[in-house]
Amino acid sequence: MSIPSLAVFDLGGVVVRICRTWQEACHSAGVVHNPNAEARLDSPRKVELLRAHQCGEVESGKYFDGLAQLLEDHSTDEVRRVHAAWILGDYSGMAQLMDRIHHAGMRTACLSNTNAHHWEQLDSSEAFRRIQVRHASHLMGLVKPDQRIYRAFEIATETTPQEIVFFDDLAENIEAARACGWNAVHIDHTRDTAAQVLAGLRAHGALA
């Protein structure tokens, strides 16, 4: 069995803490939460708007406008504030773990479903800044769990599936990665993610 040489991370739920619900993000942003908004967030129109934003087809300003129109009870400015409050900061120990991975001779990369607005915010994350190779849905025009994004990542990084160990908190993304032949570890975002990543690296023989 070959030992992976590239650790690939999803960002939200693995490297950085994020709000998991609209209500949580409203609270984080100091915006009054309207329960009527929740049902509209599950609509096919919202799903398509999110996909287009994450693929880079819709820029953030238009996304905020579109989401405000869909929700009806929030202004564009409130939507922007909620969106800006979505990222809560690094998981404890992740920045230090990146250093440890590099010291062991492994490379690090990210493959995340995100958008230009959050991508800019991530510059404040110590753990994110340590990641050597950065790929994201809005830059690639594809989203996980579409298997094409995994293949595009392999080409961009000049790696084979066997060289990769991938960490993500969503089961569907893990399943798609495994279907592509990647070594993949499902992370529980409610627990110590750095400890889980370390255990996954050890299980695959990448770290002692």
Q: What is the pLDDT of residues 102-114, one digit of tens each?
A: 999 999 999 999 9
**Tally of helices (H runs) and strands (E runs) in the chain:** 12, 7
Q: Cβ atoms within 10 A of the Cβ of 104, count?
A: 13
For 110-168, write each residue's pLDDT tens digit. Answer: 999 999 999 999 999 999 999 999 999 999 999 999 999 999 999 999 999 999 999 99
CATH, domain range 6-17+91-203: 3.40.50.1000
Three-state DSSP class for residue 185? strand
Give residue 37's pLDDT: 82
Distances (CA, A) of 129 to 16, 45, 94, 102, 132: 12, 34, 11, 13, 8
Taking a C-beta distance cutoff of 8 angstroms, is the pair 85, 29 a contact? yes
Domain ranges of the chain: 6-17+91-203, 22-84
Q: How far apart are the first and last CA of the chain?
A: 16
For 70-117, write each residue's pLDDT tens digit. Answer: 998 899 999 999 999 999 999 999 999 999 999 999 999 999 999 999
User: Kindly report the CA angle at 156 between 155 and 159, in degrees rounded to 5?
Assistant: 55
The mean of the pLDDT values for the chain is 97
